[in-house]
Chain A
């Protein structure tokens, strides 16, 4: 796996999150801890009607977002009940966060260099450089980074860069009471995730899957990856995100051809006039 922090001399191991949503209890301690540590402003007290989710989504003022999905699902026969398959309520809960992609579109498109890759392999915005051009916002395939109202700059999860520098655990992982949010070197997290997935499959939870873990996916694998219990779009995640930069060489080629075409059209326009004037 290419280490995204390869520009540094002797970087520490790549750090990330493994969020195991199968043990999330929806307490939102992660949301609170993140806001407290990072002094993130409030983004409105709204009743959304989206189950227990009144945060709605990730943004400039929400860097951890707990999603709640209530589903009517058949409970597997013999799962601690009388042995009959019944209809039950399944409650999916997941703490969403910036994925700190290996191939990060926000980082690629930032024109001021405000977004940069840290020595831990994470992606961070420098708030003293960002001029609020807003390009990173539509570039992110997960809809993470956003512009802060009244401030103008782009903000997102820093993976608690200040805490990492002091050898501490990020605030959300520290606060999570069930260790749904696990923090550590990415290699180790991936091993742990594979083990947990095998355990769940062994217990009959065949819908469990890892999301963002594969380095061969469209963003080169995520620094913050997940274990989900249903399709990604159920949680509001894109099914197959691809970093937009992968198509950039093709875009430049087509733009070059179009620019050349424009020059040719102008030349033709004058040539036609000249031809029209000849006796």
Chain B
């Protein structure tokens, strides 16, 4: 850190003219500054961030996480509904999946710096790039989800629709999980350091959202699988999030402060309301619908929380410098092995 005397806020540490203590004043000040708790002490270049913040925007990218997860998990509900002869649930889930993933694609293309070049995503197949892998997963999932929904809603081509439903159910979980790899595969501390648990946070959240949509849109006689999936998802997301926060140490701070902290708290409240309503209001269509909406909101809140926590952890150099120093000086976890 520079100890220069001229700053934007004016001069500091200047000897007070006639009252000057020869060789005294600023040296005293320096000693005071150095009385810091050792592990938290760190230097930075004028407090500037070390890494560059993601240039992705809300609502496009957190919206994509939410809608992509919702779609992928809904396709599983659609396939199960098909297998167990529950057409109303099937229609809701399949239409929901198509609608969600289509909307998510709009967000993705809109967020590009050069949207007209969106097809360049399919120029190469690159396994070191989760975004490349994801683009190829989507190019298989979206047509399948489209055919499945069209067949279910119109009643036409039932065998083709059934095959497409299975294809969507096989690729849907990949759609729900790969976005966690995408954000983790960066230098952003709040994302990278959570890379083991984040896929479970995202798939749990996706399950909660798909279950919420089923509760909202399917009749009470057929919404039990949606309720069950929502509860399993809410539980998995909560546990995975807690494990992730504990492992990350100081890097978990952005998840409890600022915008991200607000979204985390909102998500917890909504998930609790949604889960309670789902459990208690089994027969009641209105209660089921309200719980469903709350669960969808909870899932969305989680995605926005993760997004903003990442931005906050990139903007403050301490989240980059302190863990790396601890690792280098041997007082922290060893560098990751592949």
User: What residues make up the interface of A, taking CB atoms closer than 8 Å to B?
Assistant: 47-51, 56-57, 59, 67-72, 87, 105, 108-114, 129-135, 137-147, 151-154, 218, 231, 233-242, 244-252, 254-263, 265-270, 272-274, 276
Task: Tell me if B247 is interfacial: C-beta within 8 Å of chain A.
Answer: no
**CB-nearest residue of chain A relative to B225?**
A269
| Distance between B323 CB and nearest chain A CB, rounded to angstroms | 9
How distant is the Cα of A244 from the Cα of B6 in the complex, in angstroms? 38
Q: Which residues of B contact A272 (CB under 8 A)?
A: 224-225, 228
* A59 contact set on B, CB distance < 8 A: 52
Q: Are A241 and B113 in contact (CB under 8 A)?
A: no
Question: Are A68 and B185 neighbours in the complex by a CB distance under 8 Å?
Answer: no
A interface majority secondary structure: mixed
Residue contact A254 to B200, C-beta cutoff 8 Å: yes
- How far is A244 from B44 in the complex, measured between Cα atoms in Å? 22
Given contacts A51-B4, A250-B336, contact A143 B51 (CB under 8 A): yes
User: Which residue in chain B gives the minimum CB-CB distance to A276?
Assistant: B224
| Cross-chain contact A238 with B126 (CB below 8 angstroms) | no
Q: Are B123 and A140 in contact, CB atoms less than 8 angstroms apart?
A: no
- Determine whether the beta carbon of B126 is less than 8 Å from that of A113: yes
Q: Is the CB of B187 within 8 A of A138?
A: yes
Asked whether A265 lies within 8 Å of B317 as measured between CB atoms, the reply is: no
Q: Beyond the given A130-B117, A144-B52, A248-B181, could you list 14 further A-B residue pairs with CB under 8 A, ordered by the A residue number?
A: A48-B46, A49-B8, A50-B46, A131-B118, A133-B113, A139-B187, A145-B52, A233-B42, A238-B321, A239-B328, A246-B338, A258-B203, A260-B173, A261-B200
Complex: A44 Cα to B264 Cα, angstroms: 37
Tell me which residues across on chain A come within 8 A of B4, comparing CB atoms. Answer: 51, 70
Query: A262 and B42: CB pair below 8 A?
Result: no
A63-B79 Cα distance, complex, nearest whole Å: 52
**How long is the Cα–Cα vector from A137 to B320 in the complex, in angstroms?**
15
Assuming the A-B contacts A111-B135, A133-B131, A242-B335, are A138 and B328 also in contact, with contact meaning beta carbons closer than 8 angstroms in the complex? no
Known A-B contacts A70-B2, A134-B113, A266-B207; A254 and B199 likewise in contact (beta carbons under 8 Å): yes
B interface size (C-beta, 8 A): 99
- Cβ of A67: which chain B residues have Cβ within 8 Å of it? 45
Q: Which residues of A contact B1 (CB under 8 A)?
A: 69, 234
Closest to B29 in A: A72
Contact assessment for B27 and A87 in the assembled complex, using a CB-CB cutoff below 8 Å: yes
With A140-B187, A245-B128 as known contacts, state yes or no: A131 contacts B203, CB within 8 Å. no
Residue on B nearest A108 in the bound complex, by CB: B128
Q: A90 CB to closest chain B CB, in angstroms?
A: 10
**Chain B residues within an 8 Å CB radius of A273:** 84, 224-225, 228
B106 lies within 8 A of chain A by Cβ: no
Please name 6 pairs of A and B residues whose Cβ atoms are closer than 8 Å in the assembled complex, sorted by A. Answer: A110-B129, A111-B126, A132-B114, A255-B178, A258-B180, A270-B84
- Provided the pairs A131-B117, A262-B203, A269-B229 are in contact, do residues A239 and B321 lie with their beta carbons within 8 angstroms? yes
Query: CA of A261 to CA of B336 in the docked complex: distance in angstroms?
Result: 25
Complex alpha-carbon distance, A135 and B228, angstroms:
36
B120 & A112 in contact (Cβ 8 Å cutoff): yes
- In angstroms, Cα B189 to Cα A141, docked, is 10
> In the bound complex, do residue B325 and residue A105 qualify as a contact, i.e. CB atoms below 8 Å apart?
no
Contact of A135 with B131 in the complex, beta carbons under 8 Å = yes
- B112 and A138: CB pair below 8 A? no
In whole angstroms, how far apart are the Cα atoms of A162 and B121 in the complex? 27
Q: Is the CB of A233 within 8 A of B321?
A: yes
Please give, as numbers and ranges, the residues of chain A lying within 8 Å of B7 by CB-CB distance. Answer: 49
B73's closest neighbor in chain A, by CB?
A262
**Shortest Cβ distance from A67 into B: residue:** B45
In the complex, residue of chain A having the shortest beta-carbon distance to the beta carbon of B56: A134
Query: In the complex the two chains form, is B45's CB within 8 Å of A87's CB?
Result: no
Decide if B55 is an interface residue (CB 8 Å cutoff).
yes
Q: How far is the CB of A67 from chain B (nearest CB, A)?
A: 6
Question: Which of A140, A240, A266 contacts B80 (CB under 8 A)?
Answer: A266
With A238-B320, A240-B335, A259-B173 already in contact, the answer to whether A152 and B112 are too (CB < 8 A) is: yes
Listed residue (B51, B118, B135, B320) with the most chain A CB atoms within 10 angstroms of its CB: B51
Q: Does B124 contact A (CB under 8 A)?
A: yes
Assembly CA distance A267 to B173 (angstroms): 13
Instruction: Give per-residue flags for B165-197: 1 if the beta carbon is below 8 A from chain A beta carbons, else 0.
Output: 000000001101110111011111001100111
Among residues 279 to 338 in chain B, which have CB atoms less than 8 Å away from a CB atom of chain A? 310, 314, 317, 320-321, 324-325, 327-328, 335-338
Identify which of A129, A239, A246, A248 gathers the most chain B CB atoms within 10 Å of its CB.
A239
CB neighbors of A among B8-52 (8 A): 8-9, 23, 26-27, 30, 42-46, 48-52
Query: B236, A108: Cβ atoms under 8 Å?
Result: no
Are A105 and B232 also in contact (CB < 8 A) when A146-B52, A262-B76 are?
no
Given known contacts A134-B56, A250-B196, A152 and B180 CB-to-CB distance under 8 angstroms:
no
Query: Roughly how many angstroms separate A239 CA and B321 CA in the complex, as a whole number?
Result: 6
Contact B121 A133 (CB under 8 A): yes
Closest to B185 in A: A244
Cβ-closest 7 pairs across A and B: A132-B113, A152-B113, A236-B45, A49-B8, A131-B117, A258-B199, A269-B228
A236 touches B335 (CB 8 A): no
A111 touches B124 (CB 8 A): yes
- Known A218-B335, A238-B51; contact A72-B112, beta-carbon cutoff 8 A: no
Asked whether, in the complex, the Cβ of B321 is within 8 Å of the Cβ of A244, the reply is no
Q: A234 is contacted by which of B43, B176, B195 (Cβ under 8 Å)?
A: B43
| B53 in contact (CB, < 8 A) | yes
